[in-house]
Structure 1
Amino acid sequence: MIVGVQRHLHARSAALLGSIERGLPRIMTWWFVLALAASALRVATSPLDGRPPELAMLLPYWLLTCVPLISMGLALRWFANADQLPQPTTRLAVVGRWRTVERHEARSNALYGTTGFMVSLLVGMLINVPVRAAEYLAELPAISGPVPQWLNSLQLMLTLDVVLLPSLYVIAFVAALRRVPLFPRLLVAIWGIDLAMQLGIAHAVTATGDLPAEVATTLHSVLDGNVKKVLISVALWLPYLLMSRRVNVTFRSRVPA
């Protein structure tokens, strides 16, 4: 019975993975439409004192909408034949006992591929993009005209966060989908960048010196929540990336010794 359940779950994960791969053009189109509509709504509901939107005010929303799409398009091109890339010469994942096998042997292994539990990681990276965009749109109104220095710094850093990190997670998503050997290292590096970004936002905004107390409290709560989400992801997925037989067969061409 357990074997039957495992086969059923594997079949469902494989079907979901196939739907994601075939549906990428449709996903990208829907992202463009929905992100643009949400951005327009955010601008329309912001206190602009009757002034028409300026180009500088609209730029963050164009970046939020377009940069993840550009990143995905570039990654799909970069990693078109990624499973042909050579393995790294130095192993950083040294936990466990493994035996390196030839590429053709790894591909013939039943665990080769990004199905199974791996699909949950792929979906999580993809969902991270609209979640961060929604948080950005909810937290920060459109800004126009002369504003305090702390608000300028806050907008700049939060815009950098919502443009850079989702784009990096999209690249990692495609790297996993295309079975790039360096995917596990790439994801760990992005986690590090994510944590550093939250600390950078806190430092840059508080360094202005005129941050209102209530804004500082809210910002601390938001950044603390972001850090906790990254640490939870690390705690959940890093052991999997190190010890999973599927990950090791697919990305490192090695099997249990």
Structure 2
Amino acid sequence: MLQWFACYAANIRTRSAAIARFFEARMGVVALAWLAVFTLSSAVRLALAVSPVESLRDAAILALPYILIAAAPIAGFLIAERAFPRGTLSAQPEVRLAFYGHWRRLDVLEARRSPVFGPAGFMASLLVGMLLNVVIRSFEFLVSMPALNGHAPEWAQQMMLVMVADVVVMSFFYMVCFVLALRTVPLFPRMLLFAWLLDIAMQLLIAQHVAALPDLPVNVAVPLHGLLHGNVTKVLISAFVWLPYLLLSDRVNITYRSRGPAED
């Protein structure tokens, strides 16, 4: 039985490591697939626009939010990828934020020789989760927000503005986190914590801003409140699930903090 579990665990590690290798080698394909699917879906939404298009300016304002949302995760990936090229050995931050546990310091090369170094195992699930978060948030926007331009009421334009800003900013930062995790950059755990905190702050700011809009219909305010509440809940669940792993996992500490379990 123990041998079977050992073989099963080894198989899981092999498969999860293949996920990271796939993303390293095929992110261009993933980006093209994202652009194709989101562009097609946006075209359907634009075809059902509730605002009239009377000029080229109206059409540009109508399409701009969808262009920004499509481009945000790609921009986040490209900027982070250029900042942290593959194979770069990044220094550890001078100030430690994770103190729990007993660890011994490893040099960078010793950490990289460890059999548990790299974004495999549960880390591969976190990689996939960050990508799915970008996709889900973007398509939630498509479903919940009609295409609007300057002919829409002021409250609708303001709501469109803040919702687009939310999706664009968070898609950008979650993709930066994705690259940091994939490239084993030591800043990854604290960058993900920053993204979670920023995400919650943005939901609260949007709720405050939208609540102050004059003439906001009740049948719009109620589902919007549910969407924002759902976003906060998802972030809190993610933090609850992943924070213990990010603090205590041998893989995370060896890969991103260059420290291993203390020897007895």
Same fold (TM over 0.5): yes
Q: Of 75, 84, 99, which aligns to 2:89?
A: 84
Q: How does 1:9-48 map to 2 (within 5 A)?
A: 9-48=12-51
Distance 1:77 1:30, change over 3 A: same
CA change 1:226–1:82 in 2 (3 A) is: farther
What residue identity is the alignment partner of 2:19? L
Conserved in 2, the CA contact under 8 Å of 1:99 and 1:256?
A: yes
Q: TM-score, normalised by structure 1?
A: 0.96
Is contact 2:65–2:164 with CA below 8 Å preserved after alignment?
yes
On the 8 A contact 1:83/1:179 being kept in 2, the answer is no
CA–CA separation in structure 2 for the residues paired with 1:47 and 1:155: 13
Match runs of 1:205-220 below 5 Å: 205-220=210-225
CA contact 1:175–1:183 (8 Å) conserved in 2: yes
Alignment partner, residue 103 of structure 1: 108
Q: Is residue 100–residue 247 contact of structure 2 (8 Å, CA) maintained in 1?
A: yes
Partner AA of 2:241 in structure 1: L
**Equivalent position of 2:243 in the other structure:** 238
**1:67 counterpart residue number:** 72
Instruction: Name the SS for the 1:84 alignment partner.
Output: coil
> Is the aligned partner of 1:152 residue 2:157?
yes
- Selected match of 1:165 from 170, 194, 201: 170
Give the conservation status (yes or no) of the 8 Å contact 1:17–1:119.
yes
Q: Displacement of 1:50 after TM fit?
A: 6.2
Post-superposition offset of 1:101: 1.2
Residues 101-250 of structure 1: pairs in structure 2 closer than 5 A: 101-250=106-255
Structure 1 gaps of 5+ residues are none
Question: Percent identity between the aligned chains?
Answer: 42
Q: 1:144: how far off? A: 2.5
**Conservation of the 8 A alpha-carbon contact between 1:150 and 1:206:** no
- The aligned amino acid for 1:40 is A
Q: CA deviation at 1:54?
A: 2.0
Report deviation, 1:51: 4.1
Give, as a single letter, the amino acid of the residue that structure 2 aligns with 1:62: I
Q: Which runs of no fewer than 5 residues in structure 2 stay unpaired?
A: none
**Superimposed CA distance per residue, residues 35-84 of structure 1 (whole angstroms, 9 cap, x where no aligned partner):** 11111111001223464652122111110111221221111111105751
User: How far apart are 1:125 and its partner, in Å?
Assistant: 0.4
TM-score, with normalisation over the residues of structure 2?
0.93
Greater CA deviation, 40-49 or 183-192?
40-49
What do you get for the CA RMSD once the two structures are aligned? 1.4
2:62 touches 2:148 (CA, 8 Å); kept in 1?
yes
Counterpart code for 1:16: I
Quote how far apart the aligned CAs of 1:219 are: 1.1
Structure 1 position 133, deviation (Å): 1.0
Partner SS for 2:104: strand
Q: 1:181 deviation in Å?
A: 0.5
| Shift in CA distance, 191/203, structure 1 to aligned 2, threshold 3 Å | same
